[in-house]
Each structure stands twice: as C-alpha cells, then as structure tokens.
Structure 1
Amino acid sequence: MKTKFFNFLMVAVLTATLVNCKNKAEEAVTSDAEAAKVSEATSQKYITDVLKSSIEWKGFKPTGTHNGTISIDTGTFEMVDGQLHSGTFLIDMKSIKALDLEGDYKTSLESHLMGTVEGKEGDFFDVNKFPTAAFEITGTEATADGKTLLSGNLTIKGMKNNITFPVSVTATGDDLTITSDTFTIDRTKWGVNYGSKSI
C-alpha cells in the first residue's frame, strides 16, 4: 500500500486579550471541547511529513511582537469523498523557536516560553511537564469561497478547548496540503496567563 503524506501549516497568533487583535474577524471561535470525529472505513489516510509541516506563531506584548515556529511531532488526517474528515496531530512544544531574535535574546525568549528557566516554568508552556500539545478534528464545513471551516479540540497544558478557523485543502496526487488562514486565540483559555490583563 502506498503511503500518503500531508503537509500542515497552521498560522496562529497567540494573544493575551482581544484588545491586542488587529482584526477581530480573524479570531478563532473558541468553545468547550467536543467529541472527535471518528475514522471511516472508506477514508483515505495521510500521515504528516513533519519536515514540511509547522505552526507559525506570533505573540503580542505592550512593547511589540515576537514570531516564530513550532514543529509538528506526529499526525494523521483522513479524507472522505475528497473532503477533509478527521484527524489528529501532536505539537512538539519543546521545539518552540523565535525567528525575530538572535543570540542571547533568542535563547532567553525561547527558554522563557518553554519554561526551562528555573522559577519561570509555569509562565508559559512548561514543556517539561507538558511536552506536547494536541489538535483533533471535531467537524468540518465547506465555505462558499472554496475553503473549509475546521473545528477541533486544541489541548495545551492539559486544558482542552474547541476552536474553529478556515483552512485551504489541496490534494495533488498522493500529497495533501492543509494551510490555515491567520487566526488568533486567547492563550488564557489554556492557562497561559503570564503578563495578561484579561484575567
């Protein structure tokens, strides 16, 4: 059986409050966790090409912004009748990278975000306690502009919330590429409260 791969690019903007969002229309709809979609016997299965898949993030603070990437650890998605149906992937939280800094500033920010600095473990993602985050599809809906509204449970630091955001799905031969629109989430809903004025 031929192995099929997919590339996944999620563009997330992590904000502390809605006030920080430049365009509120881009905010991912966030709600309580829902039941994950189950696999179907007739589905086409794809596994993540982790070398070509990533999450791009941007974080806001009063004095500016930072941006970077997080790697996908593992993942599978399934298509039914040419439509995205179900899937899950794990996010390697120990892979957080800052792309806008260099040297000691870069190392300092990455260590703070990952929580590998003694006494600051819980400020952000505490990766030694929570080495992975997860996303599992709970629903999909085709839109008039040819995109797909993707809903899924996002688990960070053991806290699970459902988010909905638009993605573009492109299938070429045995390859599947899923690319999200840029969207925002309120990190405090996942217990990432450091420096937030919204709680």
Structure 2
Amino acid sequence: MKNKFAKAVLALVVAFSATAFTSVEKEEKEVDVKTSKVTWKGYKVTGSHEGTVNLQKGTLTFEGDKLAGGEFVVDMASLTSTDLEGEYQGKLNGHLKSDDFFGVEAHPTSKLVFTEVKSTGKNAYEVTGDLTIKGKTHPVTFELSVYGNKATGAVKVDRTKYDIKYKSGNFFENLGDNIIYDEFDLVVDLNF
C-alpha cells in the first residue's frame, strides 16, 4: 500500500514539474513609436516616390524568446513623401491623403494584426497578418527578423485590394506613361 501511494505521489510530482517547465508565458513588448520607422515606396512608369508614415502604437508578443504575435496601428495623417520638397511635396502629400489614394479624412488609421508566426531560422520569422487600409482587410505575408530589442521587415502591398485604383493599369486603359504600379513597398524598423 505504501509503495502504491509513493508511486502516485511521484507521478503527481513529475506531472506538475513537466507542466511547470512546458508552459511559457506570453509577454507583450510595446514598440517605441518615436524611434521606430516605417518607410514606403511607390512606383510608376517614369520613376518612384518614397516617404514615411508614423506608427500610432504597436506591440510584439513573445513566448519566451520567440516571436508569437503583434499588432500595429498606423497614423495615416502622418503620411509624407521624403523625395520631394516645397510645393511639389505638399501636392503629393495632399493627393496621397485624398480619396484617390488613402482617404485619410474618413480612414485616419490603418492596422496590421499578426495571425500566424512561423520560425524560419534563428531570429527569422514568416509572418502572416491581416492588414486593414481604408476599412478593407486582406492577409499579407512577409519576413521579419528580430535581434535583441529590434525587428526589421518588408512587405509588398497590392493597393488595389484596398480600393486604391487611381491610375492602375489593371483598371484604366490608355494611361501610357501615367500608370502607377499596383504594388508598393513598406519597410519597418522597430525598436521595443
């Protein structure tokens, strides 16, 4: 009888010990929106434009030292070009914020919520997330690298999925050199 009791106690101790070591707590780390940077680059037949947009808030979720999730809100009113100056910069910024592009007055923020994170190597992840622009949400997949308290990544976005069709060759004919390509690039450098 004593032997059975001792075995039962030992089994319980082993079971509790195993669960204590296998459960990893999730930790949310707030992104420093002042030192983090999001840059964009859009392309047209005759060249390109580039600029920045600010994060309003963001968090990365970790399980132990592994990335497990994330959520970001972008302040669309901060959208600006950095390759132009003066009057031309003002015109482009105004046009990008208009309903032809991002409709910032009606849609002041955009959002990205990670839905799946897969480790692809040391410090490297394939991330799938729901990207919301102009009230429309579509999945995007991209590579993200995490080193210490920094993360970097890049994603291509098809603007037409978010009802941004201005001068798209897929929706308008005879645009010639005025075509603006559907995909634009976002590059993020995050500090947390």
TM range (shorter): 0.7 to 0.9
Task: Give the TM-score of the pair, scaled to structure 2.
Answer: 0.74
Cα separation, 1, equivalents of 2:136 and 2:109:
12
Q: 5+ unaligned residues in a row in structure 2: which ranges? A: 1-22, 172-192
Alignment-derived partner of residue 54 in structure 1: 37
User: What's the TM-score once normalised by structure 1's chain length?
Assistant: 0.71
- Which of 93, 117, 137 in structure 1 is aligned with 2:114? 137
Match of 2:138 in 1: 161
Runs of 4+ residues deviating >6 angstroms: none
Contact 2:130–2:139 (8 Å) recurs in 1: yes
Distance in structure 2 (CA, Å) of the matches to 1:75 and 1:167: 15
Give the superposed CA RMSD.
1.6
Mapping of 1:26-175 within 5 angstroms? 42-115=25-98, 122-144=99-121, 146-171=123-148
Of structures 1 and 2, the one scoring higher in RCO (CA 8 A, sep 6+) is 1
Other-structure match for 2:170: 198
**1:102 & 1:170 partners in 2: Cα distance?**
35
Query: Is the radius of gyration larger for structure 1 or structure 2?
Result: 2
Name which of structure 1's ranges 130-139 and 53-62 shifts more when overlaid on structure 2.
Answer: 53-62
Identity of aligned residues (%): 36
SS of residue in 2 equivalent to 1:109: helix
Pairing partner for 1:185 from 157, 161, 166? 157
Structure 1 unmatched ranges of 5 or more: 1-39, 116-121
